[in-house]
Chain A
Amino acid sequence: MFDVICDVLMPWDIQGVLRTQQNSERTVTLSNGVLLESVRTEKKGVSALFIDNGKRGFACSTDISVHGANTVMHEALDNLRSMTRVNEFAPVASGGRSSFPTVKDTAQSEIVELASTLDTRIVSMCPKASGRRIQIATLVTQKLICTHDGRCISVFLPRTNVYVTLSAKNSRGESASIRDAYGGACYASQLLNNIEVMDGFINELYDDVQKKCEASALESAEYECVLSGCTGILIHEAFGHIAEGDAVAAGSVLAGKLGERIVSPLISATDFAKSAFGQPVPQPLEVDDEGVQCVDAPILEKGVLKGYMLDTRTAAQLGLKNTGNARAATFGDIPVVRMRNTAIHPGNSTLDELIASVEDGVYVKRTGGGQADMTGKFMFAVQTAYRIHSGKVKEPLGNITCTGSSFRTLGEVKMVGNDIHWPHSSMCGKEAQVIPVGMAGPSVRSIAYFGGGERNE
């Protein structure tokens, strides 16, 4: 059904794209072994976007047919006309076609079975856990992107995330909990057939939550720290968003600073398109949702600002090369400048060496959500952290918060670890569109402000 759309988009002499997209989501939630939620959702439809001289016309419909595609195409052109007051755009010679990717449906029972099997495994592996919650969320994104110049590109991205929350209580009845995610670019069945790969993840979560029961609050102050497992979110939230073309055009703190040294020379960062450091990235993209070829977007090189992430409009506004960063969450969303797979490049030190180098500080092991503003100020919740005394990991800390300026925290980086992994479960929200992204980074030694964790009395 999707393939007929290729024939509808007459090649035009202005930039345009006709996109059919299906997002298939499955969510299964178990709380202490009780099945709470088992939901299947499909969002599918067709949209058209035309861009001319900085103006855009967009239309979408759930009607995936020749009629629906024709309708959205003409509505999008009408919308563009009403913004530009230009009367006519001319069709040009016809182009080729491709196929909508055919994928197998995921049986709900597979996901429920994965959740139940994992739940049983957690019960046996974590006898002292006072509570457990498992949520499995799968998202299969299929797209067919047909461009004004006759190209048709099919996109297929499966993803399965397993979110586990473990709770534990101490002898005084005080509880603590930690939530973490395990996932990958795969189907739920692939994880089910290989469930023991999650054992290390579960064991670590269990160990940390038991320690967290005895956690203490942290006096609010700036601390030397080892940020581990969270530099991906740091580069994404605190630096990536202000390097997005629309933010730069709106006057972000990075505007006009290309070529300037802005953070530590130990820091390099790139928004990768298809692969990074010789490995595939979580969201490999050939073309973006404007039909533009995706290329790696170097952001920082040895501390110097090298570039921004751009779509058609912002590339034109800033006079720079389009990097193919226009992404839309569903068929009904207009593409906006988004990150794809953003990472700080790894260094040479081991995590042990980083910790051993800190006399008095904080070791951040696992974070929750975070946010940043256009000036580079960031905040993220810390789920698992420990004090460091004399180069050794010591007492656990409660639900503290890490805040600071990305310029200062990345500017004060003294050591960069050789560890890097892509969590595969990262999501990013912008302008009410939530999309999967990749974010990664090595452990770093730096400084940041920490506070909070007050228990209720």
Chain B
Amino acid sequence: MNDLTVAKSLLKRLTNAGADCAHVWCVGVQRHTMLLTQGVPDTLMTGHESTASVKLGQGMRFIQKEIPFSCESDFDGFVPELFAALKDAPEDRNEDMFGDGTSESRTDIRSSFEPVQMKRYLETLAEDFAASGAELVRAKLSYEKRESVFVSSRGEQYADEDDGYKLSFSANMKKDGRTMTVFADHAMFRDMGDYKAFDAQSILAKNADMLFNPSNIKPFEASLIIAPAPLYIFLMDTLFSQLFDDSLLGGQSRWENSFNKAVADRTFSARFDSFEEGIVLGERITPDGCRSKPYDVIDKGILKNAILSCKAARIKGLAPSGNSGDNLIVEPGRTSLDELIANTGEGVLMYGYAGVGANPDGSFAGVAKPAFMIKNGKIVCALNDVRVSGNWLDILARGSFEFSSRRETNGESILPWMKVEKVKFS
């Protein structure tokens, strides 16, 4: 019995029991995970989880609920429970809560669970780090196969199968009795052979030795070159703090009246797209029960769309978002990363960031770590606890930034490097 059969059966039970509008979407995930501790694979985990999400409307009442299941009989008690809970639900129904699913099926399975191969992969990763003088302290490699199906009482039907690997790790180096985490990464990929350390990792590896002797700085203003991982934190916080349900409904957004107007320089285009090549296990069905679709947020600096649920979109009189804000894609620039560095008189190269990505007013402050000083186009030393602060709404509007021509993907986003001028460091 597959999840589509289960979803159809549950939908039939709901309509037979008196629902006049219902959606059922099931997500089944098979996951096999291997853990490595201090260079040695030591734990194997397997699991299968199936969850059915239901939206149910009867008269003006509406309810949404999830239930994990292993077989159809799990719904025996669930359906009466759901209708009982519906009696307590608020009168809040609106047709746009019931999505706009399109009938379609798609299967994209490219791999399978191979424990011996996974173990060998982790051992090889540990050997690679050992060869560069580092110890792979922790690693987690999962193979995940996912089936998403969606059926509605309006006759819509959608099914999707995909799979991929998830890897996260951290590796330490030791020098003069000190231990430092110099490599840490996470990524998703379709095949174990696909994973390549990012530019950030390889540049970090080249300059790892400097990290043991970081320099302190005095407050100054200079260029900031941001790796894709911290850039993701900055951009997601900025977009969500201005364009998500709460900020728009709560009147907090500085961009509330800027739709179809410029909010950034024309070199900045950002969109969400779970189907882009390079994205692994992207969103297929939104929390609203709609099929995910790509959509532009900012196109050549012009604000196009918010990140809104169906209901918030209805209240604001805007279009609902195509997905819930997963899988950010930013358009590249024209300059290579090497040129961005070479063209920098004085600046900071940021690989990681601990801090606030963006507050509702656009302000941010935090610590760049690992970070390196650039002088006259060359990386000269690592920096100790360099604090960085500013305001993202100003940076985007001012346009004093540039993106690299090459982008990197970690399976959940596709981003270039970004160089920003006149940033404050202390």
Residues of chain A having any CB pair with chain B under 8 Å: 31-32, 34-45, 47, 54-65, 68, 75, 79-80, 82-83, 107-110, 112, 130-133, 165, 167, 174-177, 217, 220-221, 246, 249-251, 253, 255, 313, 332, 334, 368, 371-375, 377, 379, 381, 398-401, 403, 431, 449, 451-457
- A28: nearest chain-B partner, CB-CB: B90
- A79: nearest chain-B partner, CB-CB: B44
B44 close to A452 (CB less than 8 A): no
Minimum CB–CB distance from B361 to chain A (whole Å) comes to: 6
A38 close to B43 (CB less than 8 A): no
Residues of chain B having any CB pair with chain A under 8 Å: 35, 37-38, 41-51, 63-71, 85, 88-90, 92, 115, 137-138, 140, 170, 172, 174, 179-181, 219, 245-246, 249-252, 254, 309, 311-312, 315, 354-356, 359-367, 369, 385, 387, 389-391, 393-394, 424, 426
B115 close to A175 (CB less than 8 A): no
A420–B311 Cα distance when bound, in Å, is 41
A379–B388 Cα distance when bound, in Å, is 12
- A22: nearest chain-B partner, CB-CB: B68
> Residue A332 contacts which of B49, B354, B362 (CB distance < 8 angstroms)?
B49
A249–B90 Cα distance when bound, in Å, is 51
B65 close to A133 (CB less than 8 A): no
Q: A221-B426, A456-B391 are in contact. Are A398 and B44 (CB under 8 A)?
A: no
A-side contacts of B67, CB under 8 Å: 42
> Residue A83 contacts which of B43, B70, B390 (CB distance < 8 angstroms)?
B43
B-side contacts of A130, CB under 8 Å: 251
A-side contacts of B115, CB under 8 Å: 82
A377 close to B70 (CB less than 8 A): no
Q: A38-B63, A55-B42, A251-B137 are in contact. Are A456 and B89 (CB under 8 A)?
A: no
> Residue B66 contacts which of A41, A60, A64, A372 (CB distance < 8 angstroms)?
A41
A-B CB contact pairs (8 Å), 19 listed:
A36-B249, A38-B89, A56-B43, A58-B47, A59-B47, A79-B46, A82-B115, A177-B360, A220-B219, A332-B49, A372-B354, A377-B354, A377-B367, A379-B355, A398-B361, A401-B387, A403-B366, A451-B426, A454-B391
A40 close to B65 (CB less than 8 A): yes
B49 close to A373 (CB less than 8 A): no
Q: A42-B66, A42-B68, A250-B172 are in contact. Are A451 and B365 (CB under 8 A)?
A: yes
- B73: nearest chain-A partner, CB-CB: A65
A220 close to B362 (CB less than 8 A): no
B-side contacts of A47, CB under 8 Å: 47
B-side contacts of A401, CB under 8 Å: 355-356, 365-366, 387, 389
Q: Which 6 residue pairs of A and B lie closest in terms of their CB atoms, listed nearest first?
A: A452-B365, A109-B88, A63-B70, A401-B365, A251-B179, A131-B250
- B309: nearest chain-A partner, CB-CB: A36
B-side contacts of A403, CB under 8 Å: 354-355, 366-367, 385, 387
Minimum CB–CB distance from B90 to chain A (whole Å) comes to: 5
B42 close to A62 (CB less than 8 A): no
Q: A39-B64, A373-B181 are in contact. Are A62 and B251 (CB under 8 A)?
A: no
Q: A54-B42, A131-B251, A167-B251 are in contact. Are A62 and B394 (CB under 8 A)?
A: no
B-side contacts of A377, CB under 8 Å: 354, 367, 369, 385
> Residue B43 contacts which of A58, A177, A220, A255 (CB distance < 8 angstroms)?
A58
A80–B43 Cα distance when bound, in Å, is 7
A250 close to B137 (CB less than 8 A): yes
Query: Which of A165, A251, A334 has its CB near the most chain B CB atoms (within 10 A)?
Result: A251
Q: A36-B311, A379-B354, A398-B363 are in contact. Are A60 and B47 (CB under 8 A)?
A: yes
B-side contacts of A58, CB under 8 Å: 43-47
A62 close to B50 (CB less than 8 A): yes
Q: A57-B43, A377-B369, A379-B366 are in contact. Are A455 and B245 (CB under 8 A)?
A: no
Query: Which of B43, B85, B393 has its CB near the most chain A CB atoms (within 10 A)?
Result: B43
B66 close to A40 (CB less than 8 A): yes
> Residue B172 contacts which of A57, A165, A251 (CB distance < 8 angstroms)?
A251
Q: A82-B44, A456-B393 are in contact. Are A31 and B246 (CB under 8 A)?
A: yes
Query: Which of B63, B249, B356, B385 has its CB near the most chain A CB atoms (within 10 A)?
Result: B356
B361 close to A399 (CB less than 8 A): yes
B-side contacts of A80, CB under 8 Å: 44
Minimum CB–CB distance from A452 to chain B (whole Å) comes to: 3
Minimum CB–CB distance from B93 to chain A (whole Å) comes to: 11
> Residue B180 contacts which of A133, A174, A372, A375 (CB distance < 8 angstroms)?
A375
A83 close to B48 (CB less than 8 A): no
A45 close to B363 (CB less than 8 A): no
B356 close to A381 (CB less than 8 A): yes
4 further A-B contacts with Cβ under 8 Å, apart from A79-B44, A217-B363, A456-B393, are: A31-B246, A40-B65, A79-B46, A381-B359
A82–B33 Cα distance when bound, in Å, is 13
Q: A55-B42, A452-B364, A452-B389 are in contact. Are A61 and B252 (CB under 8 A)?
A: no
- A332: nearest chain-B partner, CB-CB: B47
B-side contacts of A371, CB under 8 Å: 354
A-side contacts of B393, CB under 8 Å: 456
A371–B251 Cα distance when bound, in Å, is 29
A62 close to B387 (CB less than 8 A): no
A398–B38 Cα distance when bound, in Å, is 43
A61 close to B47 (CB less than 8 A): yes
B356 close to A83 (CB less than 8 A): no
A-side contacts of B66, CB under 8 Å: 39-42
Minimum CB–CB distance from A337 to chain B (whole Å) comes to: 12
A79 close to B45 (CB less than 8 A): yes
A167 close to B179 (CB less than 8 A): no
A59 close to B68 (CB less than 8 A): no
Query: Which of B45, B170, B181, B315 has its CB near the most chain A CB atoms (within 10 A)?
Result: B45
B387 close to A451 (CB less than 8 A): yes
Minimum CB–CB distance from A92 to chain B (whole Å) comes to: 24
- A67: nearest chain-B partner, CB-CB: B70
B-side contacts of A112, CB under 8 Å: 89-90
Minimum CB–CB distance from B96 to chain A (whole Å) comes to: 13
- A45: nearest chain-B partner, CB-CB: B68
A-side contacts of B92, CB under 8 Å: 35, 38
- A314: nearest chain-B partner, CB-CB: B37
- B245: nearest chain-A partner, CB-CB: A36
A456 close to B426 (CB less than 8 A): no
A368 close to B138 (CB less than 8 A): no
Query: Which of B174, B246, B249 has its CB near the most chain A CB atoms (within 10 A)?
Result: B246
A42–B250 Cα distance when bound, in Å, is 29
A54–B43 Cα distance when bound, in Å, is 9
B361 close to A456 (CB less than 8 A): yes
B88 close to A107 (CB less than 8 A): yes
Minimum CB–CB distance from A131 to chain B (whole Å) comes to: 4
A-side contacts of B48, CB under 8 Å: 60-62
